[in-house]
Chain A
Amino acid sequence: MGYGRGEVYDEMVTGQGRLRPHWQTFMGTLGPLDPELMAERWEEARRLLHQNGVTYNIYGDPKGMERPWPLDMVPLLIPSHEWKAVESGLIQRATLLNAVLADIYGPQTLTRSGRLSPAVIHADPGFRRAVHGIAVPNDIHLHFYAADLARAPDGRWWVLSDRTQAPSGSGYALENRAVMAKVLPDSFRHCQVERLSPFFEAYKETLLSLSPRRDQPRIVLLTPGPYNETYFEHVYLARYLGITLVEGADLTVRDRQVYLKTLSGLEPVDVILRRLDADFADPLELRADSSLGVAGLIEAVRAGNVVVANALGSGFMESMAVKPSLPMLCRHLLGEELKMPGVAVWWCGNDDERAYVIEHLDGLVVKPAFPSLSFEPIFGADLSAGERAALVERIKARPWCYVAQERLALSTAPVWQGGRLQPRPLVLRVFLCARPDGSYTVMPGGLTRVSTESGKLVVSMQRGGGSKDTWILSGRRAEATPAMPRPQPAQEPQPAPKAASADLPSRVADSLYWLGRYAERSEGTVRLLRSTHSRLTDGNVPGASLQLRPLLHLMAWEGMIPWDLTRVTALGGGRALRAALYSSVVDPDHPNSLRAQVQRVHRTAYSVRDRLSLDMWRVVTMLERQSQPPPHKLDAAAMLLRLDDLMTCLAAIAGLEQESMTRGQGWRFLDIGRRIERALHIISVMRGIQVHALDRQDEPVQVATLSVLLELGESVMTYRSRYLTSVRRRPVLELLLADESNPRALDFQLAALERHVAALPSGSQAVPGDTAASARSILGAARASLRAPDALDSGAALHTLLDSLALSLPEISNLLTHAYFSHAFARPA
């Protein structure tokens, strides 16, 4: 099959180039390796990944946000007998690491007795003194653990590194499985692949068992937020496990208890699944500059009112300095030999090991001893004599900061690349979870990461590698399988239902509210820009020159162009005007430009991505792309087309809001935002265009201005069909302000807001009872003033009406913020 072989161990073929026995079934089901067929499958997989929105972020690269997740079509196959050894080795290792944590954060007999150098603890910036001595339930510090494994040329699996802080990747493994089970259903069935879902059931069970409160415990997944590299996974896992995804700002500590700020008030939190590094978890006792954490969290843990998993401080076991001692610690703490070897590491904090490192530098890779000291690995062989001497000096000055590692030859697995299978180096991440009794269970599978280049020794998603599903072959023959107690689902995994909507965090409601406002504001802006550009492009529009004047006036009123450009009368405008108009569309530094507004939409939507459907998110992404400054300057006609496209995206967002969102409190706040913004926009346009002074103008000017109002108010068609007459002041105002049946009219928005306010959560301790009443009275007064007999007749009355609405309606926004979003003065029940 033209599959190259190197010196290293290959997962699929033996040194003699023969297919390994456990690959035979799989290769049989795959059939002939037809490039076209493989390409089809690959497309299908990509489509599924895209559909499911699987992405990851690359730090420090603005273009690295939301990278599509790379998945190879050939899974890594591991036979069951081999997997049993991996399982038992990793269970032992997890047990050992947990026992070391229990000692380090407890009696510290290991350092006091001299078995472990005290420097291993005290020189490590990752040792969390603040949590020392705090008891954890069942002595479990390490609830979730992952190990990166590599296979040596002799075929043995070795541990490359341990993930004990907040292991990531299990959600991606789950997603890879969901895709592969669909893309290669026959292979999947015939190969008798071990299922992943029981592992996640155990995961959920473990979380539940940790709760200090037995009755309906509330579990949350604490994420650093959308800019974290594995945010997709946080969203995915929270949904899959049916727990609430929260950021630090969603939580607050009162009376040494953690609470979730929800729309209906403060709800106690019992268990925190932590995906935030411990250092950032509590600005009071840990890093004071962290804005991602929860002040008082450690005190709540100390009081036993909340359990954090992994326990704060568990990241300590990622230290490389402790690795050389693990075989000794295993004998001492567990009375057993370490089953699975770790890659050889020498810690320079010990004199003998340091001497060895300095002597053998050429064959070693020097790395930071502690994860928080970040520097790139140094390959001894690559150093000049001078660099080498300098490195030795650095090591001698602060020996405890350095470890050296053996260079490792990674095994290879077949990757479908360039129309054929090619061997590529791999690292396998395996996941474990603690059971309530303190034992560990292993996920039968894992996240295999492959390098895209054959010679590469570093495999990392951050550096652009690929991933594979990992199939553990159960080894049972189909007919020999004992009857299952219940039928296996045709496809796994099936996500659990989402967390109850009562748990809608206030931050999310706040963001949805602003998403509604920003989206609506962008719509108003596009309409205004489109109307203005069309008058400038095409002088043949009837009344173009007369209509341009109020449009430019409005643009200045809305802060989009300078006032002195509004006097331009010639069609086509002056050069300065054209430049200003262009910048009002695309200039990101112009605070009121369309681009700036769309960026607000995108940013706000990003912060609540987990609450939006994939379609919605896709449209928001498209909107953002369409609003980017074009590489070449667009001419006026192209600009109009671009504005049309943007309008289409915005209309799609509005449509999805109405047609694809469940009518929960989240939707309600989104729609409230939209209605308030639209109401304010109508009032602003009326005031900006000085509609109260209209009767003092000549008839042609009146008509031109009213036509602009109808166009911006998306009500031209309605007007024509209803009135069949020329454009006149009274009916236009009637249609745009007081008509409850016109979805663009002010009164329509007010009526909708009245219904929303009546349905808001109330009666809880969080919401002062008078909020709804105050909002209702503002809305009631506004509607009554529209209905006043002469409100729309005299210019003076209209002037007063609009001015007073411009003052009273924003107050609703303030009331909502205070009652539902800020929780500054909320008290737990």
Chain B
Amino acid sequence: MPSPDRPDLSPTIAGAAPADEHSGDGFGVRFRVRHTTRYDYAEDVSVSHHLLHLTARPHPRQRVRRCALTILPGPAVQSSHTDYFGNTVTYVAMQEPHRQLVVTAESEVEVGPPPTLDAALTPSWEHVRDALGGLTGPEDGAEVVQYRFDSTLVAASPTLQDYAALSFTPGRPAAEAALDLMQRIHDDFTFDPTATTIATPMAEVMRHRRGVCQDFAHIVVGCVRAVGLPARYVSGYLRTLPPPGRPRLVGADVSHAWASVWCGAEAGWIDVCPTNARRADQDFITIAWGRDYDDVSPARGVLMGAAGHTLSVSVDVEPLEEDGAP
């Protein structure tokens, strides 16, 4: 049976506080991330097929220095390709009876600071919307516009449109509206891992105002699309640094999800995290992006022979020294 697995809140191992976060050339902060997904099956699984989005994605603010996937027991087939959104996706087939599957993704990445943004100076959201048709260049119309329409899990609705309208007021700069939306979702919604599952429809999340990072990211995406702008769903990790006296960030050292909003050709994509009410900065490590969770779920699979399984996920984000030593 298909078993899309959702990033989970599971016990985490906090990383040691870094002495010097910056690498030699000043690009950004270096991390080693170890993400382990473990399935225990109730019975022998004879054959299973998996699709993994676990390889960190390079982008202008993120360098991927090393990335390795280890799968135990050893798979019969392991083969990677680039998906429609530019992410690396790995197909894995197990063809020997197995009762356990452990997937470990280990990557070393370097994350640069977010570009400075004067939200008030971005063009009005209506202007950004109306300029979509005339986009050229590498981030051309076809590339950006694909994130503007309904997707498998996120469909525009009057509810989303009404909620979005309070932030996307007439003439408001696009980035300002996006950040306001992010802040409102953070304030209006309660983080509650027991409230939703991956199958919970958005309408229900809107009604109960509870959920996890993934739900909140979907709501940003849905609201932004409801007013006619493109928005992406981003899957990745969040490093936590709990300094004394300050609260621990929710979503620490787990799979994390946030949203990216198109704010016009100049500002480009602005990453916003409604779960923590902040722009994605050097603590956010990007794995993949797509239209919604369904495009980039870390692991989905089809199994033959198993009645049920238990899943455990652990994520360890560890800052590294300049020479790569922890």
**A interface residues (Cβ-Cβ under 8 A, vs B):** 108, 111-112, 114, 117-119, 121-123, 125, 129-130, 132-133, 252-256, 283-285, 288-289, 295-296, 299, 302-303, 398, 400, 824-825, 827
Contact = CB atoms under 8 A, between A and B. Distances in A.
B93 A253 contact: yes
A112 B140 contact: yes
Contact of B93 (A122, A132, A255, A288): A255
Contact of B2 (A117, A129, A283): A283
A123 B148 CA distance: 8
B51 A284 contact: yes
A53 to B, nearest CB: 34
Given A283-B2, A288-B2, A302-B81, A253 B146 contact: no
Given A288-B2, A296-B49, A824-B304, A255 B95 contact: yes
A255 B79 CA distance: 11
B42 to A, nearest CB: 15
B206 to A, nearest CB: 18
A295 B84 contact: no
Interface in B241-300: 295, 300
Given A284-B49, A284-B300, A827-B95, A256 B77 contact: yes
Contact of A254 (B81, B95, B145): B95
Residue of B76, B85, B97, B142 ringed by the most chain A CB atoms within 10 A: B142
A285 B294 CA distance: 10
Nearest to A827: B95
A232 B146 CA distance: 40
Contacts of A303: 79
Nearest to A823: B46
A114 B304 CA distance: 45
Contacts of A256: 77, 79, 93
Contacts of A114: 141
A255 B92 CA distance: 10
B326 interface: no
B305 interface: yes
B149 A122 contact: yes
A511 B245 CA distance: 68
Contact of A111 (B142, B304, B305): B142
Contacts of B141: 111-112, 114, 118
A299 B80 CA distance: 10
Contacts of A825: 46, 97
B302 interface: yes
B2 A299 contact: no
Nearest to A298: B91
Nearest to A351: B133
A284 B302 contact: yes
A823 B304 CA distance: 10
Enumerate the 3 nearest inter-chain pairs by beta-carbon distance, A residue then B residue, closest first. A288-B2, A129-B84, A295-B302
Given A112-B142, A118-B141, A122-B145, A253 B304 contact: no
B301 interface: yes
A684 B211 CA distance: 57
Interface size of B as a range: 35 or more
Contact of A108 (B51, B76, B142): B142
Interface of B, secondary structure class, is mixed
B149 A254 contact: no
B165 interface: no
B154 interface: no
B46 A398 contact: no
A295 B51 CA distance: 11
B47 interface: yes
A117 B149 CA distance: 13
B91 A299 contact: yes
A111 B133 CA distance: 11
A825 B46 CA distance: 6
27 contacts: A111-B141, A112-B142, A114-B141, A117-B133, A119-B145, A119-B148, A119-B149, A121-B142, A121-B146, A122-B148, A123-B149, A130-B83, A132-B84, A254-B47, A255-B77, A255-B93, A256-B79, A284-B2, A289-B2, A295-B49, A295-B302, A296-B93, A299-B91, A299-B93, A824-B46, A824-B305, A827-B95
Contacts of B49: 253, 284, 295-296, 299
Given A252-B304, A283-B2, 7 more contacts: A119-B148, A125-B150, A129-B83, A254-B76, A284-B300, A299-B77, A303-B79
A255 B76 contact: yes
A118 B93 contact: no
B145 A252 contact: no
B18 interface: no
A106 to B, nearest CB: 12
B151 to A, nearest CB: 9
A398 B156 contact: yes
Contacts of A255: 76-77, 93, 95
Interface in B54-82: 76-77, 79, 81-82
B300 A288 contact: yes
Contacts of B156: 398
A292 to B, nearest CB: 13
Contacts of B79: 256, 299, 303
Nearest to B140: A112
- Report which residue of A252, A289, A299, A400 has the largest number of chain B beta carbons within 10 angstroms of its beta carbon: A299
A824 B81 CA distance: 28
A296 to B, nearest CB: 5
A256 B305 CA distance: 19
B44 to A, nearest CB: 8
Contact of A252 (B47, B85, B149): B47
Interface string B147-163: 01110000010000000
A283 B148 CA distance: 26
Interface in B79-109: 79, 81-85, 91, 93, 95, 97
A123 B47 CA distance: 35
Interface in B30-57: 46-47, 49-51
A370 to B, nearest CB: 11
Contacts of B83: 129-130
A285 B146 CA distance: 19
A296 B50 CA distance: 9
A163 B51 CA distance: 31
A123 B2 CA distance: 26
Contacts of A125: 150
A118 B46 CA distance: 43
Contacts of A302: 81
Nearest to B303: A295
A759 B79 CA distance: 42
A122 B147 CA distance: 8
Nearest to A256: B77
Nearest to B149: A123
A118 B145 contact: yes
B229 to A, nearest CB: 14
Contacts of A284: 2, 49-51, 300-302
Contacts of B85: 129
Contacts of A827: 95
B142 A118 contact: yes
Contacts of A299: 49, 77, 79, 91, 93
B146 A122 contact: yes
Nearest to B297: A288
Contacts of B301: 284
Nearest to A116: B142
Contacts of B295: 129
Nearest to B48: A295
B75 to A, nearest CB: 11
Nearest to B230: A122
A395 to B, nearest CB: 14
A285 B79 CA distance: 14
A130 B51 CA distance: 12
Contacts of B82: 133
B135 to A, nearest CB: 10
B95 A288 contact: no
Contacts of B97: 825
Interface string B193-236: 00000000000000000000000000000000000000000000
